[in-house]
A = this chain, B = another copy of it.
Amino acid sequence: MGRDGSIELRSFQVVRPEKNGLMAEQVVIQVRAMIREGELRPGDRLPPERELSKRLGISRASLRHGLRFLAAMGVLTSRHGSGTYIADGPPALDSEPLRMLAELHRFTPNEMFEARKLLEVGLAGLAARNAGDEHLAVMSEEVAEMYATLDDPQEYLVHDIRFHRAIAAASGNQILAALMNMVSTAMYESRKATVERATDLKESAEFHRKIYRLIRAGKSEEARFAMNEHLELAQRAFETEELSITTVPKNGKPSPATRRKRRSRSARAT
């Protein structure tokens, strides 16, 4: 190794054949490794930044960049004055990225709805096959709450969402559940506005009850069908509402935002 020690300035680089750029990336890799090895588990607290930065041989600033990155992915949460913790609770994906993506690319609410529909229908089918008693109990509970809050749209929406979330949990597939929640959450703002003007929450509640019973009975295909019907109804309500809002102004050119034509775009594969 020729460690004569005259010039050691860059020795730290030599140790590292990779010479990977981006110190922050190193942090991600390290933490990820710790998770994979089982060294870090959900809910655990990480070592203090000052210590961790020393251990990894990088500045605290760089370490923090890496942690920020992980926090954005939903893997970590930092609590001021307390520490940095591995996310716990049910597995969940942050919906913020999806919301951003939607704004960047001007996704239509309809597209969002369609995505949700596909996921929810599939989940309903799975739930009919896999739901356990405790999930069924939650669903039943939420249906009851919906009936009880027919005159309070906002509250109704909360139980609506919880009901669908229970179905997702009952499906037995946490990934699909996480995806559905991501989409659902990204749509929350819109739904909050829509439900306020809803005319027939009772009908909606009936539908939920019907879906619940089909899932409980283990009737997969029928549960799928009912869920599909339910969401298409909701989607239609949503669409008409959208129109009634966007058509308000006296602008002669209604800006054909909904028009859809085939775009040719440079692919640039990576």
The chain A residues found within 8 Å of chain B, CB to CB, are 21, 24, 32, 35-36, 41-42, 61, 64-65, 68-75, 80, 86-87, 89-94, 96-98, 100-105, 107, 111-112, 114-115, 118-119, 122, 126, 130-135, 138, 162, 165-166, 169, 172-176, 178-179, 183, 260, 262-270
Q: Are B75 and A100 in contact, with the CB atoms below 8 A? A: yes
Q: How far is the CB of A45 from chain B (nearest CB, A)?
A: 15
> Which residue in B75, B94, B135, B268 is a CB contact (below 8 Å) of A89?
B268
Q: Are A72 and B61 in contact, with the CB atoms below 8 A? A: no
Question: Given the complex, which residues of B lie within 8 Å of A260, measured CB to CB?
Answer: 130, 172
Q: How far is the CB of A147 from chain B (nearest CB, A)?
A: 19
**Chain B residue with Cβ nearest A22:** B80
Complex Cα spacing A169 to B91, Å: 28
8 pairs across A/B with beta carbons < 8 Å? A73-B94, A75-B100, A93-B98, A93-B101, A114-B175, A133-B264, A134-B267, A179-B183
Q: Are A93 and B104 in contact, with the CB atoms below 8 A? A: no
Across chains A and B, which 6 residue pairs bring their CB atoms closest together, nearest first? A72-B72, A73-B97, A118-B122, A115-B175, A132-B262, A69-B72
Question: Given the complex, which residues of B lie within 8 Å of A73, measured CB to CB?
Answer: 72, 94, 96-97, 100
